[in-house]
Amino acid sequence: MLSFVHKTIAEDLGGFRFKNLAGKGCTSKVTSVSATTENYKWLRYSLASRTEKTKKSDKKCTPDPEMKNWRFNCKTFCPSFELPKEKTLETVKLKCSKTSAKLVTTNVTVTRNMSVHHVTNTSCLKKAITKFCQDEKLVPNIVHYIWFSKKAFDFFNFLSFLSVSKFLRICLIIIHGDVTPQGQYWRMLLRLIPNIIFVQRKQQKTIFGKKLNLVEHRADIARIQVLQEYGGIYMDTDEVILRSLHPLRDYQITMSRAIDKNLSNGLILAAKNATFLQIWLNEYKHFQSNEWGYSSTLVPFKLSKKYPKLIHVEDKTFVRPNYLQLKLLFNQNFDWSKNYAIHLYKRYYKKRHNFNDIRTLNTTIGSVSRYVIYGDKEFKT
């Protein structure tokens, strides 16, 4: 069972820190938000510049909680996104002593240069995770990101973290990296999500004596090792959660096919020291640097066929559309209602977006962004 402190962090604080709603997101007259959305304390908007009436020329949407309408021929009202006004905010920190390891909340002053809590005592962190973030499920209720050689934290990174906090009600978000994220969206995120911590991690440049020349290959190794050390949920920084992963936390490890004969490593759920992870890591003895995704996606697929009892495989529910279907993602609208998550393939997408232009962006990226930020997929007035 969850401890009392765990519930405080994961439920009261672990979503978002907003406590004084200036409205309940999109107006209930036209919203297609699920019934649980109004319970999120974090959903705060500015109502000052807008009314609760849609323009006469805009067709109001019929509530669509089951997401059966994907025509995008109507609009819902949603006020503009705004950050909280509080001068002090609560944040989660790790507190260590010779006899205890705790995750505690503390008040911090809001400044332009707010910083994430850096953790150096990883042994203490692991004890705290066991105590506060481990429930009856095999997979701990924590999310891991790898942040190597990156500086600017952009809108899509923001969207990924936001989706984690909204849909997973996570106990802790841990960034493992060699540099702290930067930029306006990172600063905004720190004002919205209290339970993010940063763990310094060097890039591993060799594996079994073989050079890892690309940062992407180093990140491939790091995600396996992090899941071995802590357990939890690994996320790529452009992977977006669309619904709870709670049912999948019962398996030792879960991955999803992106195409029929590979497994995507952009979203992985795993128990600490899952056997499949060690078998997979050992296969890097045969790593070839000129083979882009062989060890990271094709090898786990082959291993899943050899050891089917060690892994649960989802059928494209983490990565649909896939990298062969980018037009569905970038230029068209795809019905993602059956997805647990979606990969935005940011490396192939040249456009940049913000809170305003995604309100009427008529693509899959637009509908996903609206769903995460404003609570439903429809165009916004």
pLDDT digits (tens, 9 = 90+) for 317-341: 999 999 999 999 999 999 999 999 9
Residue 155, pLDDT above cutoff 80: yes
The mean of the pLDDT values for the chain is: 85
Is 9:92 a contact under the CB 8 Å cutoff? Answer: yes
Question: Residue 57 pLDDT more than 50?
Answer: no
Domains and CATH numbers, the chain: 116-314 (3.90.550.20)
Average pLDDT over residues 205-233: 97
What proportion of the chain, given as a percentage, has pLDDT over 70? 85
146/149 Cα distance (integer angstroms): 10
pLDDT of residue 338: 96
The predicted pLDDT at position 78 comes to: 85
* Predicted pLDDT at 315: 97
The answer to whether 280 touches 269, Cβ cutoff 8 Å, is: no
Do strands 142-147 and 232-235 pair parallel, antiparallel, or not at all (unpaired)?
A: parallel
Residue 58 is predicted with a pLDDT of 61
Which of 1-5, 47-51, 309-313 is least confident? 47-51
- The candidate with the shortest Cα–Cα distance to 148, out of 226, 200, 193, is 200
Is pLDDT of 344 > 70?
yes
- The continuous run of DSSP H or E covering 212 comes out as none
Burial class (CB in 10 A: 0-12, 13-18, 19+), 236: buried
Q: What confidence tier does 231 reach under pLDDT thresholds 50, 70, 90?
A: very high
User: Quick one: tokens of 63?
Assistant: 């509530």
